[in-house]
């Protein structure tokens, strides 16, 4: 039969091996858990990067769209203002031309002497002044109280 001392030694050795294997199993499980945790954190990080990049691209597109809207509205306002300025200038030039023609016709009548002659000679200048004053005040009469709309 077996010597009890040898039996206890074998049993003790078996227990030590089993204990060591249990510790290694625990260590392996802990390492696997750490590796899985690392993979999960890495996957979350990559996903968050993709989401942040998509948000950045969306914000960039929104900014470009808003900038285009602002620019187009500015251009439309500028073109509208320019058309209005061109209309006013062409009307002003036509009126100035008519006034100068009237002045030339009156001056062509020839030099006269006396009070009546002076009044007749000054009449074209007076008419030009009246017409010019009417032209200048015309936009303000249209937009009374709103000089910014001129």
Note down pLDDT in tens along the chain; length 150 residues: 556 666 666 666 677 677 777 777 788 888 888 899 999 999 999 999 999 999 999 999 999 999 999 999 888 888 888 888 778 777 777 777 777 777 766 665 556 566 666 766 777 778 788 887 877 777 666 666 555 554
How far apart are the C-alpha atoms of 126 and 119, rounded to whole Å? 10
> Phi-psi bin for 119: left (phi > 0), alpha (psi -120 to 50), beta?
alpha
Token pair 């200038």 is found at: 89
């Amino acid at each position: 039969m077996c010597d009890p001392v040898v039996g206890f030694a074998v049993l003790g050795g078996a227990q030590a091996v089993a204990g060591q294997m249990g510790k290694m199993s625990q260590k392996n499980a802990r390492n696997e858990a750490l590796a899985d945790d690392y993979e999960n954190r890495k996957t979350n990080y990559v996903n968050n990067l993709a989401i942040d990049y998509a948000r950045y691209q969306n914000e960039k597109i929104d900014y470009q769209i808003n900038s285009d809207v602002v620019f187009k509205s500015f251009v439309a306002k500028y073109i509208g203002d320019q058309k209005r300025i061109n209309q006013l200038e062409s009307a002003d030039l036509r009126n100035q031309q008519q006034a100068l023609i009237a002045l030339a016709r009156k001056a062509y009548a020839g030099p006269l002497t006396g009070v009546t002659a002076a009044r007749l000679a000054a009449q074209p200048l007076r008419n030009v002044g009246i017409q010019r004053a009417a032209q200048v005040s015309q936009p303000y009469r249209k937009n009374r109280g709103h000089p910014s709309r001129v």
